[in-house]
Structure 1
Amino acid sequence: MAYRTLSREYYGKNAAGHLRETLRGADKGKSIIEQLQLQRLLALIDQGNELAKKDLKHTHDKITQAMAEGRDDVLRSLIIAFGAILPFMVAAAWSPFTDLLGKRIQEGYGDELLEQILVSSFVANGLGCICISWLDKPNAPGQIIANQAREMPFERLGSTVLQFVAMHAENIFYDPVWFENLTPAQRKRLDTLAAAGVDTMGSVPDMPIDRNLSFDLPPITRIFDVGGET
């Protein structure tokens, strides 16, 4: 699950690079100022995309090699199992700058090799699950986030994870019936989280998660670890 999610993110970044080459010609007929603004924006987006590709490639290469060698000591995962199918699905990989509590865990300097967290939802035996994965190394951001998830009360964990992925993941889909039946406060929260970091200033999504806000998700039945060194 994690490898599929990571591959989707990595090759999606490659496709995005080709799209921006097409967009570079979208300023034809516009004023000089508008052309400069568009080309500057595309250059910034391209810079961020290339840095993200570098980090994703490092992780993708390590997991690919481990899979080819039949090793399961490279990747660690935390599985959160729910008592019913979830009203949302997500498959995303990103470099988290903050943990579930809003504390800084990576700085994100241009010459820094960032660590990713891989989040996938799936259905097993008719029940919903969320898989949180990371490269197994000391003090990895994914390990920090997984430890926080283990310590969190089950009744708060599901809604916390939903807000966390809503803030970071672009590849997330909601059950339309469930979404339409959300309260105004719940829907506004998801909309606000989705817009976090969406600006031209290079901001990163780092909004605090409202752990007192519930989204009435199916109850969590158990959480358990998979992989890593034994």
Structure 2
Amino acid sequence: MEGSSRAHIYPRTLEALPWPKDADRHTLGRLAVLYQELERLAQVSRDNPRAWLLAEVERRIEDQAGYRLSAPGFGLSFVEWQGAPSMEELLLEGTVLQAGLFHRLDLKDPDLARFVYLMLTSTEAERVASGELQRLFVPTDYRDLLAVYEEKERAFSEVREAFFRTLAELDEAVFDLFGLTEEERRHILERLSAFPLDRLRPRYPWEVGRVRPPQGLHGRSVPIRGGL
């Protein structure tokens, strides 16, 4: 496209790639099948459960079908969460959300705690300010949303595991294609897992970075009911 950088693969580059003189047809067929499966898994793995969850929350924000976390019905006390700790410090232990030694919020309900943690860790913010925490939007049906999310996350995890299994099978197929010994295979894997080659890890299809949170997640852009 005009104005964008392009990558070129020249014929001489392809000609310089190593290739066995007598490639085994069976192994070549196995490689083709595995690459097709890897492509399929890559497509499926782009269905990010967190993106789905945020889209559902955004719809409820538009419908005003929820409350601020500080709503009286939740019965929460924010006195132990002052200032704005770093997002990197954020932890969830049971129903307690905490950051460092001096920021703690007991959300009392495990589902609510899980939901709030997911929302906070989905934002692009670097800190968790007390005011924004109190204004955090919680849909009325957050338990139902969380149940569907967990189901999607389990399926998503299975796809990722299948993706890595297929990658490992592809490695073995390539090793077979070149007729490498067990010692040679072990040496290659050890080198790939050591510095600096371990820094060359590919970007996997599900690694899209943090999903941008919906507008109004912290109760700024749309009116939200103040009490349960």
TM-score band w.r.t. shorter chain: under 0.3
Structure with greater proportional helix content: 2
Q: TM-score, normalised by structure 2?
A: 0.28
Higher RCO (CA 8 Å, separation ≥ 6 residues): 2
Q: TM-score, normalised by structure 1?
A: 0.28
User: Which protein shows a greater Rg?
Assistant: 2
Structure with greater proportional strand content: 1
